[in-house]
Structure 1
Amino acid sequence: MKKLKKTASMGSKRRRTTKHPGSSSSSSTEQSECLVAQLPQALIIDILSRLPIRCILNCKSVCKTWLHLMSDPLFVGLHMERSPANLLIQKTPFERIASTELLLVEIVEEDFSNREIIRLFPNINFPDTDFRLLNSCNGLLCLYEDSYGKSEITVHVCNPVLGEYIDIPVVNTDKKFEQHFAFGFSSGSNEYKVLQTFFPDKDTTAAPCLAEIYTVGTGEWRSIGKCSFQT
């Protein structure tokens, strides 16, 4: 008698694989993220430094690594070198000298035919108060709150790309002097500095002009003594 051969297919059921919608797209996204993560940091900095400001503001939210790279002095220097000059506009209500709105006009074409208008302060958790724009330096902005006769005002140095700022408190108890500020960068020491000058009022013309310097990161003002200005 011949023996019957049992086949493996007898009595067995085929398993069906169920594809979940969107599984292929999610896996491809994960693969692309892995590929980007494998790129050298120097290459990522080189790529990001060629993007316009609006794209930079979006890229900083991608991951902590990119946010850290955008804080790197190498990235800041490359982006400043490769970016065209842009316009910084402070919208001020009629008959006022301070406001809470600051616009960045990013010029895409030289003839202004293509441009982007970016409202900066939605990206910064900035105090809801009126301020004056002093100037900008290497992508940083220096502003100060309008004191409206108060004895203490605050100067702000902020990075609109990272959405960060620091407060520099200023106190002037002598009403005989008017305060004026300036903001700049020292290439020799690689430090940002705020200059505060005290000009005497018209009634006290015999008093000398005084000046102080605040180096960002030190937390204190340093007096540089008397200074003379030719009028």
Structure 2
Amino acid sequence: MASTSGKPETPYERKSEMRQTVDNQAGAADSSDHQARKKTRMVELKNATLPEELIQSEIFPRLAAKYILRCRLVCKSWNSLLSTPAFVNSHLTYQLHNNSDENDRIIARTMYGFYEQVDINSHTDSIRVRTVPCASNTLFGSIDGLIAMVSTQGKRLCLWNLAIGQIKLFDFPPLDGHYAGGFCWDHVHNDYKVLMFCYDPMLSPARRICMYSTNSATWASLCIPQNLVFPSMSPCPSTIVKGTPYWTTYLKPLTLPGQKCSILKFVPEINELRILPDFDPLKFRVNIFDIANIKDCLVGMAYKLNEHGGTNTMVDMYCLDDEDSNSGIWSKMYSIGPVYLDSHQWPSQAFRNGGEILIRGPSDPFAFYDPETKEIKRIAGTTSPSTSLTDLGRQCYSYTPSLVRVRGMESLQNFSTKGELKPVAFFTRNFP
């Protein structure tokens, strides 16, 4: 082969040219091998799957309830897996112990125009949902994503899982009289129970409790011991802690000499009603006392209002050292504030994980007091209804979306088909 200069190639030049040719061929082969290896890796990644056990135990329980519902539509095997009681329980356990704001919400009854509604409040926003029309007068509890409501006019009760769009309607027990509601969870038998107190405040204290078991779908009657006498109480629990409902006397200034605030609780595992040690307002120099669920503990909130109007008030937080003993003592833990409070604006409930106190008042936006920043932050898009302080103050509970169902629950669409829910449209705008 002639050189570019027209002179014969030397042995050295021929050797260099051969080496270059070999190198070019080797480079082309390497490039081809690289492309082949890359293509192989892409195929492997495309076909790669996570271990089924990892998906079931670590990924699915972390998903919000709305995403689990979508996953159930992927295939039959996923639908079967994600519908088992074992998975529903593991998902609930993770959601309750996950401290994210998404799982720490407060549900409160509201009323706008002629429609009963509930607000699902987070730290940043609120979702308004139309309630079940035939059982929607009173919100009296929320446990594990189940919402308990009652219609005193229609004498019907409702357990409603808003996240999965299923409800259970059932009638009052066949008794006459005045009824107060309670909602609880028996963790021993995994049984959600509804309580109705046979109570006529004009005649005598309640002497009987009617208890509905969701496991058996039947009512049972429990007698209240003769030596257990308790004062008039709110028709709704003041708060619910770990499935146990607590009631206090009506929220009002405790100004009468010697008057104490009594607290009642129902122990669902043994179906027993108990009165806790009284809180003595005179001893602590306060005239308002109420209770809340803070970090899954019963906490008392005590403060003193000025007789001539609202003022910046310090709210003292108390814990009860022994609920199971008559000798238990309320001990002060810390104080929050100052917070502007009056007879129309008061601390109502608390976010369960962080302990931020919800501040409510008729016709005012919901707000919460952050004990870390000592600031009151309003929740966008909320307005409390113009109603009585007693009704408004009680219908407010911790709420965590879940997949929990109880016996006899049906889809809302089924009830619409039957004609029971036609008057009202249901919606869950951007529900978490």
Q: Provide TM-score, normalisation by structure 1.
A: 0.61
Name the CA shift for 1:198/1:163 in 2 (closer, same or farther; >3 Å).
same
CA distance in structure 2 between the partners assigned to 1:45 and 1:116 by the alignment? 31
Which residue is 1:139 aligned to?
145
- Return the structure number with greater relative CO, CA threshold 8 A, min gap 6: 2
Classify the secondary structure of the residue corresponding to 1:213: strand
Which residue is 1:165 aligned to?
167
**Cα distance, 1:43 vs. partner?**
2.8
Classify the secondary structure of the residue corresponding to 1:80: helix
Q: Summarize the alignment of residues 29-44 of structure 1 with structure 2, pairs less than 5 Å apart.
A: 35=49, 39-40=52-53, 43-44=55-56
Residue identity matched to 2:106:
L
Q: Would the aligned equivalents of 2:157 and 2:169 in 1 still touch at CA under 8 Å?
A: yes
Which residue is 1:73 aligned to?
89
**Cα distance, 1:220 vs. partner?**
1.1
CA distance in structure 2 between the partners assigned to 1:61 and 1:35 by the alignment? 19
Residue identity matched to 1:88:
I
**Cα distance, 1:89 vs. partner?**
2.7
CA distance in structure 1 between the partners assigned to 2:49 and 2:133 by the alignment? 42
**Cα distance, 1:66 vs. partner?**
4.6
**Cα distance, 1:180 vs. partner?**
0.9
**Cα distance, 1:74 vs. partner?**
1.6
**Cα distance, 1:46 vs. partner?**
2.8
Q: Summarize the alignment of residues 1-231 of structure 1 with structure 2, pairs less than 5 Å apart.
A: 35=49, 39-40=52-53, 43-52=55-64, 55=67, 58-59=70-71, 61-62=73-74, 65-66=78-79, 69=82, 72-84=88-100, 85-93=104-112, 99-105=115-121, 107=122, 112=123, 115-120=124-129, 127-129=132-134, 131=136, 132-147=138-153, 150=154, 153-174=155-176, 177-202=177-202, 204-205=203-204, 209-227=207-225, 228-231=228-231
Q: Would the aligned equivalents of 2:173 and 2:210 in 1 still touch at CA under 8 Å?
A: no
**Cα distance, 1:179 vs. partner?**
0.5
Compute the RMSD of aligned alpha carbons.
3.3
Structure 1: segments with no counterpart, 5+ residues:
1-27
CA distance in structure 1 between the partners assigned to 2:211 and 2:108 by the alignment? 27
Larger Rg: 1 or 2?
A: 2
Q: Would the aligned equivalents of 2:208 and 2:224 in 1 still touch at CA under 8 Å?
A: yes
Percentage of pairs with the same residue: 16
Q: Provide TM-score, normalisation by structure 2.
A: 0.35
- TM-superposition CA deviations, 1:95-127 (whole Å, max 9, x none): x8xx4422323x4xxxx3xx3544456xxxx74
Paired residue total: 177
CA distance in structure 1 between the partners assigned to 2:173 and 2:212 by the alignment? 13
